Every structure is written in structure tokens, then in C-alpha cells.
Amino acid sequence: MSTEVKHCVKSSMPDIFKEIKDWNDDMRSWSNLMYCDMYNYFVRSTAVDGETMKNFKSLQSYNYFQSGNVDKILHFNATDNKIFMKASVRSSQTVSRLNDAYVMCTGEGAVEQAWCTCMAGLGLSCSHVGALLWKIEYAVRNSMTGVSCTDETAKWNRGTTRTLNQSHLSVFS
């Protein structure tokens, strides 16, 4: 929670995220988000926020994910095929500052809304939301979600330690 006052318009947490009190830890119920869904989200947001695509392309978000900075992802399945997902994302290895990133997706993976605690005054996306999306995308692509979720993949969600990352990520580095 940042106490500093940013000099542009504040973007407070959308009510739809505020209303969720019941977050769950179960990878079997994650949204089926794929790379094209991430891409579509960033392109669409760019129309109103020029910085967005830059965030996506900078690879900082991917680096956050790869470095294990994305904490355990929790989700909430709403009734209308909407899946809310959130995780804390550490800004860097040295600074212990956490931001909470939130996304709302359809079950099929389309990202409909995103928000992050760092966004007070910023645009519609940030590298923390990007990192959260990368983690979901990675899990989906590697069949770690849905029925194939095992104890091991659940462990992966709890803490993407450096060691686990090395073995998991070596496939596509």
C-alpha cells in the first residue's frame, strides 16, 4: 500500500474486485488463458493507454515471473463464467515491495479487466499484471491447470522458487 501521492488521476480498485472475499487456491479452476489472450488484452488497453504495449514488450513482466516474484495465485469463480485471479508480485529482488495484481478473465481466457495496487494514478496495465498473466499462461500451456493439476503443480503455484523455475523454464528459454 503506497502512501505517496502520485500527481495524476488515481485509479482506485474497481468494485468488482473489492466485493470478492472468498479467494481459493486450486489450479484446476483457473482460467484457460493463452498467449493470444494476453496479447489481445495489451493491444486493447493500448488504445486508451499508450504505455501499455511498452509494458508488455519490455519483458520486465516476464522477468518478474521468471525470477519467481509472483506469489501464489488465488482465484474466485463467479457465476457468469468470470474467473477472478490475483497474486502478490514483488517489484524486484532487492526491494521487498509487494504489489497486488488482479485480473478478471472469462473461463476461456479472455482478459476483461485488470488492476494493480501500483496503479494509483497510472494506466490500465503494469508489469505486475503482466507477470500474473505470464504465470497463468505458463501453467495453462504446460497443462498444469484443469484436471491435470497435481500436488506438484499446486506446489509450484505456492512458491515459484528459483530452483523450480530453472527446471520448469529451461524448456523455452
Q: Of 44-52, 111-119, 136-144, 161-169, which part binds Zn ion (CB under 5 A)?
A: 111-119
Minimum distance of Zn ion from residue 117's CB (angstroms): 7
Q: Of 25-33, 66-74, 117-125, 131-139, which part binds Zn ion (CB under 5 A)?
A: 117-125
**Which residue in 30, 128, 145, 156 binds Zn ion (CB under 5 A)?**
128
Which residue number, 99 or 145, has a Cβ lying nearer to Zn ion? 99
Give the ranges where 47-123 is alpha helix by DSSP (H). Answer: 52-57, 60-66
For position 83 contacting Zn ion by CB under 5 A, the verdict is no
**Buried b vs exposed e over 45-79: b needs ≥16 C-beta within 10 Å?**
bbeebeebbebbeeebbbebbbebbbbbbbbbbee
Which residue number, 99 or 153, has a Cβ lying nearer to Zn ion? 99
* Site track for Zn ion across 86-105, x = CB under 5 A: -------------x------
Half-sphere exposure of 62 (CA within 13 A, CB side): 12
Q: Which cell numbers hold the place of 56?
A: 508488455
Minimum distance of Zn ion from residue 3's CB (angstroms): 16
Which residue number, 38 or 118, has a Cβ lying nearer to Zn ion? 118
**Which residue from 95, 86, 89 is spatially nearest to 55, judged by alpha carbons?**
89
Minimum distance of Zn ion from residue 122's CB (angstroms): 8
Minimum distance of Zn ion from residue 126's CB (angstroms): 3
Minimum distance of Zn ion from residue 89's CB (angstroms): 7
CA distance 111 to 129: 11
CA distance 115 to 172: 28
CA distance 139 to 157: 9
Contact residues: Zn ion, CB under 5 A: 99, 116, 118, 126, 128
